[in-house]
Amino acid sequence: MVADDRVQVVLANPGGSYLIETDPRFASYRTWLSSDYMLTQLRVDPALTQKRLGDGFYEQKLIREQIAQLTGRRFLDGYSSDEAQYRALIDNGVTYAKEWGLRPGVELTAAQMAQLTSDIVWLVEKDVTLPNGQTTRALVPQVYVHVKPGDLDGSGALISGQSVNLNVSGDLVNQGSIAGRDVVSITAENVKNLGGRITGGDVAVRARTDLDNLGGIIDANNSLSAIAGRDLNVATTTRSNSNAQGSITNVSRVAGLYVTAPSGGTLVASAGRDLNLTGAQIGNASTGGQTVVAAARDLNLGTVNTSSSQSLAWDSKNWRKDSMQQEVGSSIQTNGDLRLSAGNDLNARGASVTSEQGALVATAGNNVNLSTAQTTRDVDEAHQFKGSSSWFSKKTITTRNTLSETTTQGTTFSGNTTYVQAGNDINVKGSNVVSTEGTTLIAKHDVNIEAATDSTTERHLREEKKSGLFSSGGIGFTIGTQQQSQDNQDARTTAAASTVGSTNGNVAIGAGNHYQQVGSNVVAPQGDITIQAKKVDILEAQETTHSTQETQFKQSGLTVAVTAPVIAAIQTAQQMGRAAGQTSDGRMKVLAGATTALAGKNAADAVASDPKSGGGVSISITVGGSKSQSKTTQDTSTAAGSKVAAGGNVSIQATGAGQDSTLTVQGSDIKGGGDVSLKADGDINLLAARNASEMHRSSSSVSGGVGVAVSLNSNGAAFGVTANASASRGKGEGSDVSWTNTHVSAGNTLTLESGGNTNLKGAVAAGKQVIANVGGDLNIESLQDTSKYHSKDQSISGSVTVGYGFSGSASASQQKIDSDFASVTEQSGIKAGDKGFQVNVRGNTDLKGAVIASADKAVQDGVNSLTTATLTQSEIHNRAEYSASSIGMTLSGGKDVKGGRISPTGAGVGLDSGSASSTTTSGISGIAGNTAVRTGDAETGIAKIFDADKVQKEINAQMQITLAFSQQAGQAVSNYVEKNRSELVAQMKKATTEEERSAVQGKLDDLKLQERVMNILVGAVTGVGTAAVTKEALSTAADEMRALMIQDSAKFAGVTDGTTTYDNLSAESAGVRGDGYKVGGTRWDLDGLCGEGNKRCKVMEDENHKPILDANGKTQLALNEKGQVQFDLKAAGVKSLDEFLQTDDGKKLAGATGGIQGVKGTLFGVPYEAGSWQDKLIGSFAGTHDLIGGKLSGLYDDQGNAKRGRSDSEKMFHETWTMVAIPISAPFAMSEQLPSPVWNAISILLKAAK
């Protein structure tokens, strides 16, 4: 019969799909999961089937009642919500129905029930009597529970009756079922319920000694009392299985004590000595019910241990081992009031204790210990792969990975109100004590609220071995063995915070002695927080990491390497591309491009000189080996602060022990939406927590080889013996310290009251109004974050070849990086709002880079006040600076078979540095020091400017670029000089007159000067030269280069429009030292001036006035009697040459600095006068830049103008070269401006670099 319940309404609508509908007010106006879900999965239209008894809410109520009747528990194993449980049971029912072809409405047969492998819900058609007496049929959800090992079955014992009363003089052991419809009363010496069930309306089980409920259920509908004269043990049992691959231990039967009455039910569990719950459950579903769990000595809410392990082995090199151990905690769940009581200790480990609607009271005569259960997991696996990377090589990769982690699951005490009291200490570790309406913790001695620690340790090792033929880098290969490994290890700990709080109410904590909160939270979002003790410490927890990365490399065998000019040029281009991508210096990027161009030119020259062999090929075959190793370790410690936060007021007091009553807050935050009060009989210490990080790096390498070298060129092959060796070492160290400041903030008034000193060191105290009464000194100090870094790396290498002549080379490099940083990140102080600050200090007030500040309104209203015996102030200087250098040098020399010299020296330098500084001053708003300081001012500290990885890449890129440039430029100089010298020597031999010999000798002298100038230039740009660079040498070189360029410019007769004539020296200028020549700007570019096909200039014509073409089919300029180019105004569509130069095509002829060389000067398009500072500045650069950027690059033709018919790639090359020439020309341009001591210093620095 359906009960007449005001929650449900019997539907009058005959067309409805169910008989009973829940009042929406009681169903929370939501849609509840119903049996429609089952019918839909079975593809049965719910509208076409028999009516269901009730809606989803009503069906779930029926399911809940059936489960309680069948098992005595609120939920089946593994479930914690009605909806999830109902869905899973329906899913199981659908699966079973499909397997057995069941039809909804038909009950399961005994045979079908015996085949169940899981608990299910199935729709069964039943006769239902409605409250009006009408009988109808409806589909009702029925729970079928499958029989587990140990459950009551046909072979078990059953004692049942209306009332069951057992009074046994000895022990009672139950492995079956004792059931009474009204009353069950059991009294015995020892009661052992071993997997059995004791159930009834009212149940009383009393043991004169021990009551053991092991894997069993004791449940009652109305009241349950389980009383032991000595120990009461409720323990969940486990079962274990194992096979060849592993083992598993999991929960077999959950032991529990339950009351299922919807209201008014009582549950009492009591022990004369100890009460032990081991992974067990106590449940009282009664609204307004009472639950008491008490022990005369210890009340232990313990855990049951489950575990699993698996070992898979494919062979001795490939295997995996997994293991896990997990503690499953106990649970006490009630709807009404819940009281836990222990005469001595109350211990809860990973437990869940909840009163949904009532009060939770936990008391202990000694300690209350709430701690964590643990889950540990270990993984160890190894794998090995063998294969081949090509037909001629084998590769073996071996890996080993291990993981060990421990995570914690805290205890939770939760009630509508929660009250915890201890006669000695309350210890909460990684756990929660919470409530809806109010939480109270009272301990006669100490209250400790601490974070638990989770930890993880892992290691990843990878080793790769190669044998056979493999690449050795560049154009070459190695036949031998190679082994490299990487070993990464990490260990870290994290803090798992405790929480004491109330969602709607207040939190009150009292300790008779010491209150300590570490890395944990005390919160009351809607209420107040009160903390009272003789001594208060609110501190941070520390989270740590330790990591190690270690790499090793070893190789031995026979190496074949091939070098050739073209290959070297390609490798240089690749190296320069990578280096340019790692530097932020625009000049270096340009220099990298120039180096690539030089390498290409040198390769082309080499091939041109020996085309048959492609410029010469060298092959080396060496036997040797190399090894290297590096190791980096890093340790960090990071603060995980505590938090005290209330939506209302916060009051924290340390009183009762005189000067020993101190209040310390370190690296943590205290916040109140209303007033905040901190009071101590002794000192108040608001301190920052320290975060630290340290890094240590070391590396080393060594290599060597000996063998033969073969040189191939057009003259044949030559053989020699070659040997090489190299070594390197390096180390780096870094340390960082940062501070996590403490913050105390009030939405309204913040009050600080100390009998002793008040110290804010790395702390901010803030509120709309701040009141401080200090019985001693007030010390406020800002703390600086610091960072230091130092590294030094060195390498040296050398090689020698003897046979076809002699050659040797040596290379060395050194890199150093130093960085130092110290800055205040957050300024300490008292920071008030519009109501200002009122600070009274009996002793001295000392500010170190700190402030006592307010909003401007408080200053204007005159509400700020500071009363102190004395006042001292000081400022803090913030700084950031770093310097980095990378120097590389290559020396090479020798003789070829003809006795000629080989290869000059090469050097490269990379430099980077930076600095920043600021001052953090002290001040008091409108009173002293920096009186302009206000709350909300921007921080005055500085940010870090140093990035070790970025700086290292920068200086290495610079060094590689300048070193490569010096080598390629040196080779280019050598090629240029040797080619021209050979031609001039040949001309000297052919000269027959003194005049001819004198002319050739003049050109040889010019060539020597050019060689000297170019060597000085290469040395200046790379930091190392073949001769000392002095002011005098640069000045002389500049003069000589200027004279050469004036002479070269004079070759062009000019261009004329018939009225105005310009050549390359026709513009007015002060020149250099009064020579009056303007050499700055671009030379005439006749391609740009005359246009395509010389359409804007007059050309040579035949008698038919048709253009005369040259051998290449191009028109030829018609020069006037003075040899000048004739500009055709009509063809250009202008009235004068000057007008054309102002057109878009004309402006393209002008350079940014100087414009057009033979026309009035411009600087970035703006005209300047002769003798102006622009004229002098451009003139000082002009000669040197013209030689380097124009003459040496091959830009000019035999008329001293830009070569005609240049391709786009040639134009790009010349533009790049011209850009590079600007910084190179600077030392020469400034040679007349810098005093001698500066040039002496430059010379010393260059020698040092050398």
* Angstrom distance (rounded) from CA 57 to CA 9: 12
> Are 650 and 677 a contacting pair, CB within 8 Å?
yes
| Average pLDDT estimate for 179-192 | 94
Is 569 strand, coil or helix? helix
Written as one string, the DSSP assignment of 191-217 is EEEES-EEEEEEEEEEESS-EEEES-E
Flag whether pLDDT at 1010 surpasses 80. Answer: no
Residue 526: both structure tokens together: 């809607």
- Hey, which residues does 486 pair with through a beta bridge? 462, 551
Distance, CA of 629 to chain centre: 26
Q: What are the DSSP calls for 391-403, one per residue?
A: TTEEEEEEEEEEE
Relative orientation angle of helices 586-609 and 948-990, to the nearest 10 degrees: 40
Is the per-residue pLDDT at 1 higher than 50? no
Instruction: Measure the CA angle with vertex 755, ends 751 and 758; round to 5°.
Output: 60
Q: Are 739 and 764 in contact (CB under 8 A)?
A: no
Percent with pLDDT over 70 in the chain: 79
| Range scoring the smallest mean pLDDT among 602-616, 962-976, 1142-1156 | 602-616
781 vs 783: CA distance, rounded Å: 6
pLDDT in tens, 434-483: 999 999 999 999 999 999 999 999 999 999 998 887 666 656 677 778 88
Q: Return the pLDDT at 878.
A: 92
DSSP string, 953-996: HHHHHHHHHHHHHHHHHHHHHHHHHHHHHHHHHHHHHH--SHHH
* Res. 716: pLDDT tops 80: no
Q: Which of 492-506, 739-753, 983-997 has the lowest mean pLDDT?
A: 983-997
Query: Measuring CA to CA, which residue among 204, 152, 146 is closest to residue 174?
Result: 152
- Identify any residues that bridge with 306 across adjacent strands, giving them in sequence order: 326
Q: In angstroms, rounded to a whole number, what is the distance separating the alpha carbons of residues 441 and 433?
A: 9
Is the whole-model pTM more than 0.75?
A: no
**Element spanning 560, H or E:** strand 541-563
Mean of the pLDDT values across residues 1200-1211?
83
Range in 258-262, 820-824, 1102-1106 the model is least confident about: 1102-1106
Q: How far apart are the first and last CA of the chain?
A: 106
753 versus 1080: the higher-pLDDT residue is 753
For 821, 825, 849, the CA distances from 878, given in Å and listed in that order, are 8, 10, 10
pLDDT digit string, tens, across residues 584-630: 655 555 555 555 555 555 555 555 555 554 445 566 677 777 888 99
If you write DSSP's letter for every residue of 660-671 in order, what string do you get?
G--EEEES-EEE
Tell me whether residue 25 is exposed, middle or buried, using C-beta atoms within 10 angstroms of its C-beta: 0 to 12, 13 to 18, 19 or more.
exposed
Task: Tell me the average pLDDT of the chain.
Answer: 83
**Every domain of the chain and the residues it spans:** 8-144, 158-405+414-442+459-491, 1031-1249
Beta bridge partners of 877: 919
pLDDT of residue 1024 exceeding 50, the answer is: no
In b/e form, how buried is each residue of 930-939, taking b as 16+ CB within 10 angstroms?
beebbbeeee
Give the pLDDT confidence of 152-163 residue by residue, as tens digits. 443 445 677 788
Residue 827 main-chain phi, psi, to 5 deg? -75, 135
Q: Which two three-digit tokens encode residue 407?
A: 């995570």
CA distance 51 to 17: 5
Helix, coil or strand: residue 335: coil
pLDDT tier at 970 (50, 70, 90 boundaries)? low
In whole angstroms, give the CA distance from residue 1179 to residue 1185: 10
Rounded CA gap, 1087 and 992, in Å? 40
DSSP secondary structure string, 505-553?
Answer: SEEEEEESSEEEEES-EEEETTS-EEEEESEEEEE-EEEEEEEEEEEEE
Contact between 376 and 324 (Cβ < 8 Å):
yes
User: Cβ-count burial of 108 within 10 angstroms (0-12 exposed, 13-18 middle, 19+ buried)?
Assistant: buried
pLDDT at 964 over 80: no
Query: In terms of DSSP bridges, do strands 829-848 and 676-680 run parallel, antiparallel, or are they unpaired?
Result: unpaired
In angstroms, the Cα distances linking 169 to 166, 188, 191, 197, 205 are: 10, 6, 11, 21, 14
The predicted model gives 120-132 an average pLDDT of: 82
Name the nearest CA neighbour of 1026 among 960, 962, 970: 970
φ and ψ of 843, to 5 deg: -105, -135
pLDDT band at 1243 (very low <50, low <70, confident <90, very high): very low
Read off the pLDDT band of 18 (50, 70, 90): confident
- Is pLDDT above 80 for 184? yes
Residue 187 CB coordination number (10 Å): 17
